[in-house]
Amino acid sequence: MVYLSRLEHFNAAHKLYNPNWSEERNKEVFGPCSNQNWHGHNYELIVTVKGQPDPETGFVIDLKKLSNLIREQIINKVDHKNLNLDVPFMQGKLASTENLVMEFWRILEPLISSISSAKLHCLKLYETPRNFVEYYGE
Amino acid sequence: MVYLSRLEHFNAAHKLYNPNWSEERNKEVFGPCSNQNWHGHNYELIVTVKGQPDPETGFVIDLKKLSNLIREQIINKVDHKNLNLDVPFMQGKLASTENLVMEFWRILEPLISSISSAKLHCLKLYETPRNFVEYYGE
Amino acid sequence: MVYLSRLEHFNAAHKLYNPNWSEERNKEVFGPCSNQNWHGHNYELIVTVKGQPDPETGFVIDLKKLSNLIREQIINKVDHKNLNLDVPFMQGKLASTENLVMEFWRILEPLISSISSAKLHCLKLYETPRNFVEYYGE
Amino acid sequence: MVYLSRLEHFNAAHKLYNPNWSEERNKEVFGPCSNQNWHGHNYELIVTVKGQPDPETGFVIDLKKLSNLIREQIINKVDHKNLNLDVPFMQGKLASTENLVMEFWRILEPLISSISSAKLHCLKLYETPRNFVEYYGE
Amino acid sequence: MVYLSRLEHFNAAHKLYNPNWSEERNKEVFGPCSNQNWHGHNYELIVTVKGQPDPETGFVIDLKKLSNLIREQIINKVDHKNLNLDVPFMQGKLASTENLVMEFWRILEPLISSISSAKLHCLKLYETPRNFVEYYGE
Amino acid sequence: MVYLSRLEHFNAAHKLYNPNWSEERNKEVFGPCSNQNWHGHNYELIVTVKGQPDPETGFVIDLKKLSNLIREQIINKVDHKNLNLDVPFMQGKLASTENLVMEFWRILEPLISSISSAKLHCLKLYETPRNFVEYYGE
């Protein structure tokens, strides 16, 4: 079993804001992240798949196909977007890094299995170089 | 003459949009950067000052004072903000990295001279690790 | 279960030196790291916690609280210090990266549980960009 | 149990090419990576071992010995080389990152056990900052 | 005058070898870089242009156009190539980083002037993170 | 004229302390950097030389020779040392980054001229990734 990873990036705006709460409580819990006019990040996403290298190619998965899949299914939907307003799969959800990474998993996991015998193993999402999350699907 | 640099960072939303143009022309010139609902970045700002090291301290400038000045005068005004809507000194200006760096210079240059004998030499502003600008005040 | 990480840094002096050994044996085993007048590093510490995102905040843990906890309990005690002389919890211990990371765990693990339902999962400590350790508490 | 890691790097040429296939199929599957005149990379290798810190040294393993072992057994054989032509242990194998990391494991695993009580835990090999693999020996 | 920079990357094989010299002298001067079967690198190229920001766009140059120009004129000709064998403009020249950056300048300088009022200011080429060159056209 | 750069690193302890001042004033001016028991850093030094590429080698300077010179003359004298106590050329000087870089210049400038026709152009010294100095010899 070899684990293969691909890094992609996107730039997006968001805010952390719970619509069921008062302005005050949002400010208290989310601080400057709740700024009503948004702020944003250069996100970095690392997609890790696991599998046996194919003896004919030496590949766990064709990296070009993996990269294309990530770009079509994730990057094109979030890059240069507002994560709260523009992204269908984030509607009605808090735009935290934790929620983002779990939605990305729901999209990518079946698609990776459909293009190869490799399995999605982990998603790692950097909001900044100092703050990041990992998700293993469970 | 020694050149001393300090890196600070901030996270902000913006869009590139010329209000004198049609929606179409904005899309054509600015592409996805004109997304009406904004996008955002982790900006990194490097402030370089130049001067003679003080024989009593070995310092061109007190880095703690320089860092505090940058945070109070720049970072606090742009971090977790919308560069088009929330930043007084960007009102009526296109929120390009070029315009940002020139406004930062206008603010920092006299203030650095007022707290030390060092002079502001250069501002370097990263919008992403792949796109950045430098400004020397002329 | 989502894994959330926060990076903090500190600058410290140390030496690797076993007081039960001769000067010669220290030199032989620890090489230049045993220099009697110390050397130092820019350490980077990544704290990873795991938990379920809170449905009201989207957070595994409030990153601001996590960052404050790390700074108060760890960074303030080791930053701009001598790890052999100035740090109470390292007294009588060899100031290796391995020992440091285990002491950090002992301090942080109960405190993280006390401020949230998340659990400390891993500590990763970089002594240099080329040398680093990880500890999972067992 | 503490996990200790050491990063080393090497520069090498390679191509991805299956000699049992036509030129056309190689081009189709491997794309520009099959360029007959080779291309190359700055590879980064992170070797992670696990063990109990020795109470007399505070070390899981002597990092100097680990670094020397990696350099003698791996780096000297692949640095400034052609991975397809110059490296005995890659003869007859596709020069993919997956195959490289598994061969490195076969070499390093018994040698690390022979110089210390620590065990090899993981090898992480970056082909580029955006493409990398990990192998745990099974 | 604002200086705007764009980073692009490419992966290539090369060797340092003077065909007018004996094998021995090549080995003596170029060391492992003269390995007859090549080695390779992940190169990073930073292109810096200078100019006045356009009042209608806030841009010194349209970064999308600059990026496309660099990719078409440079990256496509060197990425996944052998710098000694596959690159027309390096024929008959030693494939050193110094010679590469001067050839890149000869190609890019007139083309940048033809697509904008900005001027090429500097090319910075990293062969590795530890070895790099800069060229200002004179 | 091409500018060629080489990065080297070293780990050292130091403190900022003016022996002509009271303990109080040292604390006031230098803050935690004056900690009597030292602190330390992973320093990075970039040495930039300028010259014409030699037509027979394509080199401004032989990087191996440049690297060896930096290691023998600088790195060996400061790596795993205390900059205040162990380094002859820093005796009687404040161990600020500014003073370090000027002393490095005094040592390297004549030696580089003696091994090649290239000239030392700039020294860039990172104390941390956020604080660094540059010196051009005047």
Q: What is the pLDDT of residues B49-87, one digit of tens each?
A: 999 999 999 999 999 999 999 999 999 999 999 999 999
Q: Is A4 exposed, middle or buried (0-12, 13-18, 19+ CB in 10 A)?
A: buried
pLDDT of residue F133: 98
pLDDT of residue F93: 97
**Contact by Cβ (8 Å): F40, C40:** yes
Region A72-77: mean pLDDT is 98
What CA–CA distance (Å, rounded) separates B19 from C114? 52
Chain C contact for F54 (CB, 8 A cutoff): no
Domain span at B57:
2-14+41-135
What CA–CA distance (Å, rounded) separates B15 from B82? 9
Q: What is the CA radius of gyration of chain C?
A: 17
Region E30-55: mean pLDDT is 98
E2 pLDDT band, cuts 50/70/90, is: very high
B132 pLDDT band, cuts 50/70/90, is: very high
Chain D contact for A62 (CB, 8 A cutoff): yes
- Which chain A residues have a beta carbon less than 8 Å from that of B75? none
**Contact by Cβ (8 Å): B79, B21:** no
Q: Tell me whether residue C21 is in a domain.
A: no
What CA–CA distance (Å, rounded) separates C112 from B104? 39
What CA–CA distance (Å, rounded) separates C50 from F37? 37
* CB atoms closer than 10 angstroms to residue C23: 10
Mark which residues 94-113 of F lie under 8 Å from E by CB.
none
Task: Work out the percent of chain A whose per-residue pLDDT is above 70.
Answer: 100
Contacts of D72 (CB under 8 A, 6+ apart): none
Of all residues in chain F, the one with the smallest CA distance to B49 is F133
Q: Tell me whether residue B33 is in a domain.
A: no
What crossing angle do the helices spanning D63-70 and D97-115 adopt, rounded to 10°? Answer: 140
Contacts of C28 (CB under 8 A, 6+ apart): none
Chain B contact for E129 (CB, 8 A cutoff): no
CA angle C78, C79, C80 (to 5 degrees): 115
Closest residue by Cα to residue E40 from F52, D107, D84:
D84
What CA–CA distance (Å, rounded) separates B130 from E6? 6
User: Closest Cα of chain A to D127: distance in Å?
Assistant: 11
pLDDT of residue E28: 96
Q: Is A138 exposed, middle or buried (0-12, 13-18, 19+ CB in 10 A)?
A: exposed
Q: Tell me whether residue D92 is in a domain.
A: yes
Chain C contact for D4 (CB, 8 A cutoff): yes
CA angle B20, B21, B24 (to 5 degrees): 160
How many residues in chain A? 138
Chain A contact for C63 (CB, 8 A cutoff): yes
User: Closest Cα of chain B to F106: distance in Å?
Assistant: 14
pLDDT of residue C5: 98
The CATH code of the domain that includes E62 is 3.30.479.10
Region D28-54: mean pLDDT is 97
pLDDT of residue A77: 98
Is C11 in Cβ contact with F80 (below 8 Å)? Answer: no
Is E131 in Cβ contact with F63 (below 8 Å)? Answer: yes
Of all residues in chain C, the one with the smallest CA distance to A21 is C56
The domain tally of chain F equals: 1
What CA–CA distance (Å, rounded) separates F17 from C132? 31
Region E113-135: mean pLDDT is 97
Q: Tell me whether residue B31 is in a domain.
A: no
- Which chain E residues have a beta carbon less than 8 Å from that of D13? 13, 37-40, 82
Q: Tell me whether residue C33 is in a domain.
A: no
pLDDT of residue D1: 96
Is D39 in Cβ contact with E42 (below 8 Å)? Answer: no
Region E87-96: mean pLDDT is 97
What CA–CA distance (Å, rounded) separates A133 from E92? 50
Average pLDDT, chain A: 97
Q: Looking at residue B26, what DSSP letter applies?
A: H
Q: Is C50 exposed, middle or buried (0-12, 13-18, 19+ CB in 10 A)?
A: middle
Is C38 in Cβ contact with F41 (below 8 Å)? Answer: no
Average pLDDT, chain C: 97
What's the predicted TM-score (pTM) here? 0.97
Is E14 in Cβ contact with D39 (below 8 Å)? Answer: no
Strands (E), D52-99: 81-82
Q: Looking at residue F75, what DSSP letter applies?
A: I
Q: Looking at residue D96, what DSSP letter applies?
A: -
Q: What is the ipTM of this complex?
A: 0.96
- Which chain E residues have a beta carbon less than 8 Å from that of D79? 32, 39
Between the alpha carbon of residue F133 and those of residues B39, B61, F96, F102, F125, the distances in Å are 34, 11, 10, 10, 5
F61 pLDDT band, cuts 50/70/90, is: very high
Q: What is the CA radius of gyration of chain A?
A: 17
Region D103-107: mean pLDDT is 98
What CA–CA distance (Å, rounded) separates F24 from B85? 46
Of all residues in chain F, the one with the smallest CA distance to C80 is F39
Per-residue model confidence as pLDDT tens digits over A3-42 = 999 999 999 999 999 999 999 999 999 999 999 999 999 9
For tokens 């509607």, the residue is: A91
**Contact by Cβ (8 Å): D95, D15:** yes
What CA–CA distance (Å, rounded) separates D15 from D41? 11
pLDDT of residue E118: 98
Per-residue model confidence as pLDDT tens digits over C73-130 = 999 999 999 999 999 999 999 999 999 999 999 999 999 999 999 999 999 999 999 9
- Which chain C residues have a beta carbon less than 8 Å from that of F77? none
Task: Work out the percent of chain A whose per-residue pLDDT is above 90.
Answer: 100
Q: Looking at residue C34, what DSSP letter applies?
A: G
Residues B80, B85, B88, B90: what is their CA dihedral angle, to the nearest 10 degrees?
Answer: 100
